[in-house]
Structure 1
């Protein structure tokens, strides 16, 4: 993978977007590398937590518009490009049962911020710069931002952030966009012991509950408990509880 650095340590896969010369702007090659990295982390039984971050002083400056040939700009289909790249990647991230944490280490704008929103948790360094800067180039927010952001901060705040304003770290934290400041070491350690598939089922049910009816959510919980109840993680926890209670 030329545009992504992939390392595994202490049950954690750290995926670093690695084009620091362009603030980790995302081109087609990086899309393929990110997809490969997330697939690898998902399939590795030794990996319990996935962290997405950027190399250098940036998380990601978003889509690399300069990678589009000038001769193709007039006929370029942004919708088709989304379907082939961001949508494919975000749907993969959504399917992964393991916890995914974004560590925003600097600039996170446009689709770069959208990818952070697609993660389960978001931590940022104090000097990070965040913005959904799509309107500034005459485009609407994409790469899942329209789905994730209202669920995190509410509709009114999501529309405000969608105008492209710079989001101070303090405001991102108080609004619910961020979970914390700095490298999330304690969170990663806690998530490493999160039981699977129960964690993934919980994540899906919470998202279902944000939009579905009570009846639909209750049925989703029934299906989830049916699956989780048959898992090895549940059986081990149950055995430990019985032993402790004797």
Structure 2
């Protein structure tokens, strides 16, 4: 199957599928087309009984720079349109990725920002290169973080507040120390490390693995995971209507992105 913004590959004999973001010239900035194509690819892998594990990665200089904020991307202008848009293309697709009935491995290198961060952390296993950098700068732009707030669940309350209150970044080794990711390897060993993990998981009985994943996800749901995501999503949508968000997230429409980001981050030591 041909896609414009991703590459989808299967190796049925090994039981592995790859979903690769493929907008390297845009640093894999995530647009509507990519969201639709990724959804189609993940569903194809989930339906194929020969596929036992899915690898999610990005082509080019980094994993993902987050949402595509360029001028050619047409974002909703009314609250009603934004609710429909973000529910369909962001919240529902992110939660689908979390609950996909096959093990999912994220392979992260270099920058993993905002929407890219959330997508990567929806995976069951996250393996990263030593140059990986994790960041959610959306609060700096006047909105209540991403559509799904995963950080408190993977780094704990205090560190999540620090990261979101400041917009600061995490290095790969800091993320590993906090338990946010599974492995850190040299950049040149990343492909091999992920592939070896995928092969190991693919050897396991697929129904048992699927049920284990569901049990662990249900455990987190009993602790409030899904309801917390729903409540956060409502707050995130509300934050878009504030003057802070209009002055922040709307600024990129009035000038080039580099100028906007430089202005946004000039008061901070850590910038993305």
TM-score by length of 2: 0.71
SS of aligned partner of 1:58: coil
> Unaligned stretches of 5+ in structure 1?
214-246
How far the C-alpha of 1:54 sits from its partner, in A, is 0.5
CA offset digits 1:129-174 (Å, max 9, x no partner) = 2101111221222242x2x332222222222232321111110010
After superposition, the CA RMSD in angstroms is 1.9
User: 1:143 and 1:124 mapped to 2: Cα distance?
Assistant: 23
Change (3 A) 1:139 1:42: same
SS of aligned partner of 1:84: helix
Q: Is the 8 A contact 2:103 2:124 kept in 1?
A: yes
How far the C-alpha of 1:211 sits from its partner, in A, is 5.2
Q: Which has the larger radius of gyration?
A: 1
Matched, 1:168 2:171: yes
Match of 2:73 among 52, 68, 72: 68
> Unaligned stretches of 5+ in structure 2?
224-272
Matched, 1:180 2:208: no
User: 2:55 and 2:207 mapped to 1: Cα distance?
Assistant: 18
User: 1:178 and 1:25 mapped to 2: Cα distance?
Assistant: 22
CA offset digits 1:192-233 (Å, max 9, x no partner) = 1222322222222223323527xxxxxxxxxxxxxxxxxxxx
Q: Is the 8 A contact 1:115 1:143 kept in 2?
A: no
Higher relative CO (Cα under 8 Å, sequence separation at least 6) belongs to: 2
Residue 210 of structure 2: aligned partner: 200
Q: Is the 8 A contact 2:103 2:213 kept in 1?
A: no
TM-score by length of 1: 0.78
Matched, 1:212 2:240: no
Q: Is the 8 A contact 2:22 2:28 kept in 1?
A: yes
